[in-house]
């Protein structure tokens, strides 16, 4: 029996570890389930001449060489490039003929996770599968980023999502928002793809990490995306209260200059090194959804810093509130006036909930594909 062929549409990521790892996780899980999978890179036919020129450059290998050169600027980007080369299969579409072949050879299109539907950030119909014609469209853990869709895009989002056979979103707030918008009662909350992989899978991936310095016996791994001045004092307080004095900072692409006294700044971490350092940390200090998710999956202690003010219209706090609330971990938010974040996590309880969530999410995914 011929394997079903699935095209994944999501952000692959270049510098953001969470984006890279969520795309890898869904791709890997679909392969494990026995499907033929590839990533579909963004394409557009706005200019026929431009598409033709791009196609010729692609055939000549010039576009691939240019892309490779962009990735080889830093050791980190080289690791990202090699990670994607080793673990991803991608397809490019430059011509109408390639587009028609794509439709004829693909059974199902799936929009992957991350904030590809965050219209406060940007709106691109491609990530709503506007090109898929009569092929089945599925959303797996697509995120709105916030509970609200700007009025400017409500009509377009409603029209595009009405063509989806199945919609699974990452946040509970998105279930409510889209159920009301589409007048549907079948929209389901599902796990971020990084949770679909077992701790063993992440451990196996990280074993080939290449870290060129010795790790302290105990350390705080610090990964902060927000560029907030108050993070320095918060980290200082966390260090003093936890009595963990060695700190390793992986600079986020969005906050590349963050530093802390006597901390080890590790700019060369690739995706594997990122997972490895989380796995071996005594405490993870982060404002990142995916650093938090991987910490939970690997049963690592963490403390959560809030990147946004709740009053900020562009706040993405809802996804962190949903995640920690669901696993009864809201006390892990850092508060200066409270030490509750220091309380140990009952990971037996957390992993029991996660196991049930994983079964439910895999059932949603396989049913959506097979029915």
Q: Are residues 363 and 266 in the same domain?
A: no
Question: Whole-model pTM above 0.85?
Answer: yes
Ranges of residues in the chain whose predicted pLDDT is under 70: 1-2, 45-73, 308-316
pLDDT of residue 316: 66
Q: What is the pLDDT of residues 127-177, one digit of tens each?
A: 999 999 999 999 999 988 777 888 999 999 999 999 999 999 998 889 999
pLDDT of residue 360: 98
Residue at 308 is within a domain: yes
Residue at 74 is within a domain: yes
Residue at 117 is within a domain: yes
Domain that holds residue 212: 206-352
Tokens of 305: 């810093």
Q: Are residues 229 and 289 in the same domain?
A: yes
pLDDT of residue 43: 84
The HSE-up count of residue 348 (CA atoms within 13 Å, CB side) is: 0
Total domains in the fold of the chain: 2
pLDDT of residue 185: 94
Residue at 307 is within a domain: yes
Q: Are residues 148 and 52 in the same domain?
A: yes
Residues 6 or more apart whose CB falls under 8 angstroms from that of 308 comprise: 226, 314, 315, 316, 317
Q: Are residues 258 and 293 in the same domain?
A: yes
Q: Are residues 346 and 360 in the same domain?
A: no
Q: Are residues 295 and 157 in the same domain?
A: no
Residue at 220 is within a domain: yes
Nearest C-alpha neighbor of 282 from the set 302, 265, 263: 302
Residue at 110 is within a domain: yes
Residue 324: other Cβ atoms inside 10 A: 18
Residue at 201 is within a domain: no
Q: Longest Cα pair distance anywhere in the chain, in angstroms? A: 62
Residue at 153 is within a domain: yes
User: Does residue 139 contact residue 166 with C-beta atoms inside 8 Å?
Assistant: yes
Q: Are residues 191 and 214 in the same domain?
A: no
Q: Are residues 181 and 213 in the same domain?
A: no
Q: What is the CATH number of the domain that holds 214?
A: 3.40.50
Place of tokens 């907030």: 228
pLDDT of residue 314: 63
Q: Are residues 131 and 238 in the same domain?
A: no
Whole-angstrom distance, CA of residue 51 vs CA of residue 95: 6
Q: Are residues 347 and 285 in the same domain?
A: yes
Q: Are residues 185 and 218 in the same domain?
A: no
Residues 6 or more apart whose CB falls under 8 angstroms from that of 183 comprise: none
Q: Are residues 233 and 303 in the same domain?
A: yes
Residue 309: other Cβ atoms inside 10 A: 11
Alpha helices in 33-116 (DSSP H): 48-59, 62-71, 75-87, 96-105
pLDDT of residue 175: 93
Whole-angstrom distance, CA of residue 95 vs CA of residue 130: 17
Q: What is the pLDDT of residues 206-263, one digit of tens each?
A: 999 999 999 999 999 999 999 888 999 999 999 999 999 999 999 998 888 889 989 9
């Amino acid at each position: 029996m011929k394997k079903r062929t699935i095209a994944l549409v999501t952000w692959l990521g270049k510098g953001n570890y969470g984006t890279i790892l969520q795309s890898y996780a869904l791709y890997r899980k679909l392969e494990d389930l026995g499907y033929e999978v590839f990533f579909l890179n963004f394409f557009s036919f706005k200019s026929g001449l431009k598409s033709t020129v791009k196609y010729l450059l692609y055939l000549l290998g010039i576009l691939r060489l240019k892309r490779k050169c962009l990735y080889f600027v830093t050791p980190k980007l080289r690791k990202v490039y090699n990670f994607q080369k080793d673990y991803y299969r991608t397809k490019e579409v430059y011509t109408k003929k390639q587009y028609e072949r794509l439709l004829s050879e693909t059974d199902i299109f799936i929009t992957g996770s991350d904030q590809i539907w965050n219209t406060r950030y940007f709106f691109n119909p491609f990530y709503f599968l506007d090109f898929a014609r009569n092929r089945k469209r599925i959303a797996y853990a697509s995120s709105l980023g916030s509970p609200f869709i700007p009025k400017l895009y409500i009509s377009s989002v409603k029209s595009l999502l009405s063509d989806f056979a199945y919609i699974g979103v990452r946040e509970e707030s998105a279930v409510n928002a889209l159920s009301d918008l589409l007048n549907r009662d079948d929209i389901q909350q599902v796990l971020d793809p990084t949770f679909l992989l077992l701790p063993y899978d992440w451990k196996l991936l990280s074993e080939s990490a290449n870290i060129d310095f010795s790790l302290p016996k105990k350390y705080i791994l610090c990964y902060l995306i927000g560029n907030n001045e108050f993070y320095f004092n918060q980290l200082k307080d966390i260090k003093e209260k936890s009595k963990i004095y060695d700190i390793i900072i992986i600079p986020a692409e969005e906050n590349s200059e963050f530093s802390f006294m006597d901390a080890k700044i590790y700019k060369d971490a690739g995706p594997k090194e990122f997972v490895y350092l989380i796995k071996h940390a005594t405490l993870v200090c982060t404002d990142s959804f995916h650093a938090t998710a991987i910490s939970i999956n690997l049963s690592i202690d963490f403390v959560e810093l809030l990147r946004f003010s709740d009053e900020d219209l562009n706040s993405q706090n809802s996804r962190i509130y949903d995640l920690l609330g669901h696993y009864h971990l809201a006390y892990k938010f850092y508060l200066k006036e409270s030490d509750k974040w220091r309380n140990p996590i009952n990971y037996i309880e957390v992993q029991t909930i996660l196991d049930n969530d994983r079964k439910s999410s895999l059932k949603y995914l396989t049913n959506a594909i097979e029915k």
